[in-house]
Amino acid sequence: MFDRIKKAFSKQAKEPLEPEGPNSQLSQGGPVSEWAATQGFAFSVDGSGHGMALEGKVGGKPWRLQLGRPTRDYILGAEVRARAELGIQDDVAVLVMNRPLKESLEKKAYQIYTDQLQTSVDSSMPEEMRWLAMFKEVGWDKLPLDFWNRFSVLTDRREDAVAWIDPALAGLMTEWPVSATSPEVPFMVLLLRGKAYLRMEYTPADLTTLQHAALIFTSACEAALDGAFTREIPSPE
């Protein structure tokens, strides 16, 4: 049912996870700043005083995590989004998305597909719908059932997903602190075009949620940099 969506998105999409507009009012500046200092992260607040950013390095590669206004309509309240310039192979594409979000996006895509008044796919549709059309869901036995019940893994090469998502990373995604994110809260982490990304709803909006999101993201970066996806440097002749 996604054939038309595939064609509509055949043109290369813009880079995901870029800031889009002013951030929402937040109240965790003090605690976040103090925690960032203990981790060696750079901390900043935007010009409005409402949005925050953390910056650091993992494996010598820079990453940035932002907290602020949502850039997707399926996220309520504030949004956590992160990006790291890993420099891994450009053709590696693996997406981990929680199942309620995947089901919601699939329903929305189907509604657009079946809408007789819609002659083309709206260019404002999130890139996540393009990924659902392009990538297939995969699975394997070495990850716990709790992970597969909560998340869907989509990719064009199963071996890339197996190489990236080890039991330790899968455990971080499922074993959130007691007070933190539930399985229904929109969440995704991915490798695409040589970079790592994270996007999730900031629910509950407390420091524990942010700390665990940062841990998942930096651990995902470390797993991608462990050698499986790094470019081979030709030996001198």
Please give the Cα distance from 92 to 153 (Å, whole number): 13
Residues 6+ apart with CB under 8 A from 196: 63, 82, 83, 84, 86, 189, 190, 217, 220, 221, 224
Contact (CB, 8 A) for 222 and 209: no
Could you read off the pLDDT of 37-91 as tens digits, one per residue? 999 999 999 877 678 999 999 999 999 999 999 989 899 999 999 999 999 999 9
So what's the pLDDT on residue 229?
A: 79
Residue 230 lies in a domain: no
Burial class of residue 231, CB neighbours in 10 A (0-12, 13-18, 19+) = exposed
Q: How far is CA 125 from the centre of its chain?
A: 17
pLDDT for 157-180, tens place per residue? 999 999 999 999 999 999 998 777
Phi and psi of 134, rounded to 5°?
A: -85, -35
CB 21 within 8 A of CB 71: yes
Token pair for 136: 């297939």
Domain assignment of residue 120, yes or no: yes
In a domain, 229, yes or no: no
pLDDT, tens digit, for every residue of 142-162?
Answer: 999 999 999 999 999 999 999
Query: What is the number of other CB atoms lying within 10 angstroms of the CB of residue 215?
Result: 12
Quote the pTM value: 0.82
User: Taking 50 as the threshold, does the pLDDT of residue 25 lie above it?
Assistant: no
Domain boundaries, position 12: 3-224
In a domain, 236, yes or no: no
Q: Does the residue 232 lie in any domain?
A: no
41 within a domain of the structure (yes/no): yes
Say how many domains are in the chain. Answer: 1
Do the Cβ atoms of 9 and 135 come closer than 8 Å?
no
214 domain residue, yes or no? yes
Q: Cα–Cα distance between 87 and 18 in angstroms, integer?
A: 18
Q: How confident is the model at residue 117 (pLDDT cuts 50, 70, 90)?
A: low
